[in-house]
Amino acid sequence: MGEVIVITSGKGGVGKTTATANIGTALAVNGKKVVLVDADIGLRNLDVVMGLENRIVYDVVDVVEGVCRLRQALIKDKRYPDLFLLPAAQTKDKNAVSPAQMQELCERLKQEFDFVLIDCPAGIEQGFKNAIAGADRAIVVTTPEISAVRDADRIIGLLEASELGSPKLVVNRVRIDMVKKGDMMNTEDMIDILAIDLLGVVPDDESIVVSTNRGEPAVGDNRSLAGKAFNNIALRILGHEVPFLDLEVDEGFLVKLLKLISKR
């Protein structure tokens, strides 16, 4: 019996879909059977981030309405063993499925997969309620901005009210240069305020833009620091103890020289 994990944030644009794609791919690379479910009905994007947009025939609403069988709607990612995508419908809206239907769908997927990752839409309305309905646990994604942390706090409250307690936090798009200058909240600040456990810290990384352009998750790129951070998150989900990434970027010769001079 597998596990259903919902990836949520409240605020839009913090990297839920990128996190879902990368954590899911990393779990599959580590030998697990994984299905990614796009719960953002009407605004689907997990398909393009995964580079699978040209292979969609049926979607999650078709499955729920019985238009097709579950197996027909699942898209197999040929690049990775045992990685599948269940895309959202693009022409319907959030009311096309109910929490009870999502719960039933999750129960069916759990029979076949080790991990069912649900990409939750932004907001706290129907789409959010649908996305968390069948989940066993939750990952909250935030960025080091007031607005994102505030929304994360609200989401944590709502998850606890729905008995999806003790969600884990992923801090995305951290810029270590700004943190050092005191111009960006660091991970401890956010953990302190939100009072939840940390699952991972992901640096702001250009490789995410490039990998999204290409439709290839960054975990497949060995040089991507963000990809490595997502892979570590997957390993922690699998129960491994992985130290948090040292986000010190190589500062280059000039900065080192300046530091050397300033020490005198």
Partner 1 sequence: MDLFRSSARHSTSSKNVAKERLKLVLVHDRVNVSSTFLEMIKGDLIKVISDYMEIDEDNLEVKMTKTKRDEDDTLVPALVANIPIKRMKGAIR
Judged by the rule CB under 8 A, the positions of this chain that interact with partner 1 are 145-146, 149-150, 153-154, 157-158, 161, 179-186, 189, 193, 258-259, 261-264
Closest separation between CB of residue 232 and partner 1, Å? 25
Residue type, 141: V
CB-nearer residue toward partner 1: 4 or 149 = 149
CB-nearer residue toward partner 1: 107 or 251 = 251
CB-nearer residue toward partner 1: 74 or 149 = 149
**Residue whose pair of structure tokens reads 């939100």 in the numeric block:** 194
Closest separation between CB of residue 251 and partner 1, Å? 12
Closest separation between CB of residue 155 and partner 1, Å? 11
Residue type, 44: R
CB-nearer residue toward partner 1: 223 or 263 = 263
User: Alpha-carbon distance 50 to 38, whole Å?
Assistant: 11
CB-nearer residue toward partner 1: 145 or 216 = 145
DSSP H or E segment with residue 202? strand 197-203
In this structure, is the dihedral angle defined by the CA atoms of residues 184, 185, 187 and 190, taken in order, positive or negative? negative
User: Alpha-carbon distance 264 to 260, whole Å?
Assistant: 7
Closest separation between CB of residue 259 and partner 1, Å? 7
**Distant-in-sequence, close-in-space partners of 264: CB < 8 Å, separation ≥ 6:** none
Find, among 58, 49, 30, 55, the residue nearest to 115 by Cα: 30
CB-nearer residue toward partner 1: 134 or 167 = 167
Closest separation between CB of residue 83 and partner 1, Å? 37
User: Alpha-carbon distance 165 to 75, whole Å?
Assistant: 31
Q: Are 52 and 101 in contact (CB under 8 A)?
A: no
Q: Are 5 and 116 in contact (CB under 8 A)?
A: yes
CB-nearer residue toward partner 1: 40 or 153 = 153
Closest separation between CB of residue 154 and partner 1, Å? 6
Q: Are 241 and 257 in contact (CB under 8 A)?
A: no
Task: For residue 137, give the 3-state DSSP assignment.
Answer: strand
In this structure, is the dihedral angle defined by the CA atoms of residues 236, 239, 240 and 244, taken in order, positive or negative? positive
Closest separation between CB of residue 143 and partner 1, Å? 12
Closest separation between CB of residue 187 and partner 1, Å? 12
CB-nearer residue toward partner 1: 103 or 187 = 187
In which order are the strands placed within the sheet that holds 34-38? 75-76, 83-86, 34-38, 115-119, 3-8, 137-142, 168-174, 197-203
